[in-house]
């Protein structure tokens, strides 16, 4: 299995531009998570999906952030417009059904720099 | 509410000496506990997990952790550090109450000196 796939691995953009991050979960996993990692705040859960449905988006910082999961094998996290404080590493993770006892598998992350 | 406290933000050991990374948790429900490792510029990889079976859990790369309910601790240990162990380590708690969502500690950066 290729694991969780994220693209792009690195993104540099200018303030005000739209940014789209992509994630392909492990086949057969039915939960998908988006995290943000910064030096100041550590790892934060932004949003998660069960069976393609958003369950909890309370971690999404602002309306500038949105996430979709149109099917079981693809999800996007969009920032529009982007700001320098959005610079971080964004991780996608997926999990097999079973709840608390199944670990999440993380992708390699997308390092976003907003100038 | 659930929380995780990693007691040391940075631990430095010499190669070949034991490693101890400390973690205390708070959970009102039967928790699952995990240790993840993150090497520089990499994603997170699961080292080991506790899910209410044996209290001593063995993981990959010679790491193990012991769940101590009375102390609400889940410390990570390794008898002999290797240079390749240098990374950041995250203690994580989860429970059915939180729908399995992971609560991460702040991380402990492990340095290994030759």
Average pLDDT, chain A: 92
Q: How far apart are CA A16 and CA A108, in angstroms?
A: 26
Record: contact B49-A100, CB cut-off 8 A: no
pLDDT tens digit string along A29-47?
A: 999 999 999 988 888 899 9
- For the cut 60, the answer to whether the pLDDT of residue A105 exceeds it is yes
CA distances to A26, A41, A56, B53, B97 from B45, rounded to whole Å, are: 14, 20, 24, 21, 24
pLDDT of B16 higher than 70? yes
Q: Indicate the average pLDDT of chain B.
A: 91
Round the CA-based radius of gyration of chain B to a whole number and report it: 13
In residues, how long is chain B? Answer: 114
- Mean pLDDT for A7-27 is 96
CB contact under 8 A, A55 and B99: yes
In Å, what is the CA distance from A92 to each residue of A40, A45, A109, B19, B100? 19, 10, 7, 29, 16
- Position A100 confidence tier, pLDDT thresholds 50, 70, 90: low
How confident is the model at residue A65, as a pLDDT? 96
To test the contact with chain A by mutation, choose from B32, B38, B102 the residue with the greatest count of A C-beta atoms within 10 A, namely B102
Taking only the tens place, the pLDDT of each residue in B48-99 is 999 877 889 999 999 999 999 899 999 999 999 999 999 999 999 886 666 6
Q: Would the CB atoms of B100 and A99 count as touching at under 8 Å?
A: yes
Name the token pair of A96.
Answer: 């097999």
CB contact under 8 A, B104 and A42: yes
- Under 8 Å CB pairs connecting chains A and B tally to 53
Which residues in chain A have Cβ-Cβ distances shorter than 8 Å to B41?
111
> Which single residue is written with the structure tokens 């999990």?
A95
């Amino acid at each position: 299995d290729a694991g969780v796939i994220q693209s792009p691995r690195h993104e540099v953009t200018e303030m005000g531009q739209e940014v789209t991050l992509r994630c392909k979960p492990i086949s057969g996993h039915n939960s998908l998570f988006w995290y943000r990692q910064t030096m100041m705040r550590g790892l934060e859960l932004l949003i998660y999906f069960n069976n393609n449905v958003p369950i909890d988006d309370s971690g999404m910082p602002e309306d500038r952030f949105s996430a979709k999961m149109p099917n079981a094998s693809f999800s996007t996290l969009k920032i529009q417009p982007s700001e320098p404080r959005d610079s971080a590493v964004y991780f996608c993770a997926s999990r097999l059904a079973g709840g608390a006892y199944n670990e999440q598998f993380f992708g390699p992350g997308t390092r976003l720099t907003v100038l | 509410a659930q929380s995780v406290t990693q007691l040391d933000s940075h631990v430095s050991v010499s190669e070949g000496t034991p490693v101890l990374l400390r973690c205390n948790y708070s959970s009102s429900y039967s928790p699952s506990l995990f240790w993840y490792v993150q090497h520089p510029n990499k994603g997170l990889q699961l080292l080991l997990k506790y899910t209410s079976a044996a209290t001593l859990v063995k993981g990959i790369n010679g790491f193990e952790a012991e769940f101590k309910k009375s102390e609400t601790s889940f410390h990570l240990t390794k008898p002999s550090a290797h240079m390749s162990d240098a990374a950041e380590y995250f203690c994580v708690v989860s429970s059915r109450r939180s729908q399995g969502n992971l609560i991460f500690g702040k991380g402990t950066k492990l340095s290994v000196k030759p």
